Every structure is written in structure tokens, then in C-alpha cells.
Amino acid sequence: MTKSLHELFASDIKPRTRFVEHFSGDALDTFRWDTTLVNNGTVAMSDTSNGGLILSTGTSSGTSSAQIDFGDKKQFGGASSIIWTAIHSHSATGESYSGLTAGSTQGSGAQGIYSYVNTAWKTTNFDLYTVGAGGNTWTNGTIAGLTSNHSHKLELTGTSGKSFVDGALNCESTTNLPIAKMQPSFGLSSTDTTNKTINITYCEAWEN
């Protein structure tokens, strides 16, 4: 029987950067995660089964947002992957970026690979947004169900960026792929008074 977690993945190579977050407990691990809250946005542990961490925009007028990341500690490069499980409450209003970013603020256009949700501006599927050194590419997703619970995976190989939803290929981009170092980031914003939420129950990222 395998004795170590490392050996589960690769016993013959040096371990690359990897982290696993279960979003369980009485509070978010703020030694790992940094929160950015604007205009009464909140981040809190959800007191419900499979609730994980809940990001909320709140009900204030004006632009509200909630974001978590590694506080600009960027340990993942252009050949890395990220898996998370999440459920969004929003689709047509509010927007969310989930994935790996070289930036500090969601939607800033920083290099990265993102799963994007906002049907008012993009499709009714999980769209893929990649930003490289010279520009960006929006790729329409093919998998719907924005407000259902899903597993997501974004995979960067150096020549492509792929989005998987529930294990199925959602879409792929081969242009404008990030080459900068990046951090995990989940961000949600709203410009109206309807509370938008994302519940995240798992996140894992690693260097391929």
C-alpha cells in the first residue's frame, strides 16, 4: 500500500507545487487565502451540508464584490491545472471569474485562465477566458447549468488551455495563453441589489 501522498502522484520525480483546500471548518484559513471585499461583499464558511465557503456580493446598491486569492503569492505557471467544485447562484446578472490569475483584482484583464459566468454579456454556458502577454481570447463554452453544482478543471499545457466541466471537455483555447506566474482566484461581483453567491467546496491546483 502506498505510504505517502507524494507517491500517489509520482514517486520518481521531485514534487511540484500543489495544494488542496477542502473549505471545511469554523473559518477560512486566512494564512493561505486573502480576501478582498468591496461594498459589503462577504466571505464566510457556509453552515450547511456541502456548503463549503460562500462568497456573497450582498445587497448594497452600486458595485459589490467578493474575492479570494493567495494575496499575490503566485506559485503556478503556464503549465498548471486547477480543479474546484462550486455552485453559482447567479447567471444573468453579476459576473464571476474563477481560475488562475496573474493579477490582483478580478476582471482586471491580467494574464490568466478563467471560467467566466455572466449570461448577460456572454453565453449561457461556462465560458473560457484566457489572457496572454499579447491579448486575450474568449471561447464560448458548450456546457450549461450555471446554477448547478459542478466540478471544474482548467488545464494549461503550454500550447492549449482547456476547460472541463464534470469531467467533459467544455471548450479549449490555443491562443493568448498565460505565461506569467499566477495564483488561484475566485471572484464575484454585482452591480445591483440582488445578492449573488458562489459556494466553493474544494480547490486543488498543481504544476503539471
Q: Is 26 in the site for another protein (CB under 8 A)?
A: yes
Position 119 contacts another protein (CB under 8 A): no
104-138 core/surface letters (b: 16 or more CB in 10 A; e: else): bbbbeebbbbbbbbbbeebbebbbbbbbbeeebeb
Residue 145 in contact with residue 117, Cβ under 8 Å?
A: no
- With cell 486566512, the residue in question is 30
Per CB under 8 A, does 134 bind another protein?
Answer: no
Exactly one of 35, 38, 51, 142 binds another protein (CB under 8 A); that residue is: 51
Binding residues for another protein, total number by CB under 8 A = 43
Handedness of CA 15, 34, 24, 89 (dihedral sign): negative
Asked if 153 touches another protein (CB under 8 A), the answer is yes
Among 86, 63, 55, 79, residue whose Cα is nearest residue 152: 86
Q: In whole angstroms, what is the distance from residue 94 CA to residue 106 CA?
A: 12
C-beta separation of 120 from 147 below 8 A: no
Please identify which residue in 15, 17, 29, 121 interacts with another protein, judged by CB under 8 A.
29
- Contact letters for another protein, residues 56-95 (x by CB under 8 A): -------------------------x-x-x----------
| Closer CB to another protein, 29 or 72, in the complex | 29
Q: Which residue, 37 or 83, is less far from another protein as judged by CB?
A: 83
* Residues near another protein, by CB under 8 A: 1-2, 5, 7-10, 18, 20, 22-27, 29-32, 45-52, 81, 83, 85, 149-151, 153, 164, 166-168, 201-202, 204, 206, 208
